[in-house]
Chain A
Amino acid sequence: MKAFAYVSPTTAKDAIAALKAGGIVRPLAGGQDLLARLKDYVETADTLVNVKQALDATVTPAGGGLKIGAAVTLDALSTNPHVIRMYPALAEAAAKVGSPQIRHQGTVGGNLNQRPRCWYFRQEEFVCFKKGGNRCFSVDGENQHHAIFGNDGPSKIVHSSSLAVPAVAYGARFVVAGPNGEREIPAAEYFTLPTMQNVKKENVLGDDELLTHVILPAPGHIRSGHYEVRFKESRDWPMAFATVVVTMNGANVASARVVLGAVAPTPWRSEAAERALVGKPLTQATAEAAAAAAVEGAKPMSQNAYKIQITKTAVVRAILEAAGKRA
């Protein structure tokens, strides 16, 4: 890989200043994604800014919810008793990422900001839209893992963050720090569908900004469920997954969030599925109706129609888990 300068600031402020060093500057946390991209010449960097010391690596109570530092490792997140108790879907998603080695090295910030795992994007030879090229190779290529929703734009990737889906479902807000201070962005608005203008990115984070915290609101009386359809038990990506968060009014659902993963260029919220749940008891029949609603409007590509069935299954099982009836 191309040689790069390496700086290791100890405060977020210094880290953000370092991002403006000139040339291509990238923040480095666990390095599980960035280093592989550099080694494979998917991209190059002039400077890497180590942000592991600069960013918060703690989980702290905040307003009845939790404030999670971007430098918290996936392992620490998945084993944190507060996270497990208050946001079990988030803990489960973190616990299933990759392998123990990746979870001990990888961070919350890195997971949320990781680049696509699309097999075209990951190889130097394929100069796709995301690398400044003029095509998405999956369109007339091998698209068995690609998007079945939100694939009208130039790029057909699926978003690869496992944490992003429960983050959206729980209504998390992301704290982003830049040269002009901090801003808070709802998780659902952080991730972006590709357009010709923004196709080189998957979110609104600026090159001179850092994601510093994830704020999870007080859970109240929510119930949540999470299900990942995984072919392999570890070291693999889910084929499709879902997080479901509901509040109950007696035996019936009062409100619902249904968010799908690995099916679209962003975490994919299904309002149709949510509507199918509200006012209904959490039964198998409701779950199936919601799952059917969730995949309405799916637009499979030439090789990925099978993902519709898998997505339905993920939704049904996540709902049943929220109901405490996981098969």
Chain B
Amino acid sequence: MLHPDSPAVVPGVQCEHIRHKSMYVMTVDNPQALRFFDPYDTASYWCQETSEAFGPDGHPVRPDCCVGGRGCCRTDPDTEAAPAHHHGQD
């Protein structure tokens, strides 16, 4: 059975800051098991830069949006992280 939270996030394609539950909840599948329903994706996504479900540009975080071409997207694993964006005021 596919884990029901099986998002289509591919390293190098989607932004390195996109996050979803299956990155933290490690599961094991049984490839030989019967499938009792069709594949679907319930995942909720968030951005580890903003700590919310919107990217730094305010648009939603999703595998279809968090790809190259979006200004805030980082797909190159060798890119150094941008310096800390300090919101804080004293």
Direct contact of A and B (CB under 8 A): no
Chain A residues engaging chain B, CB cutoff 8 angstroms: none
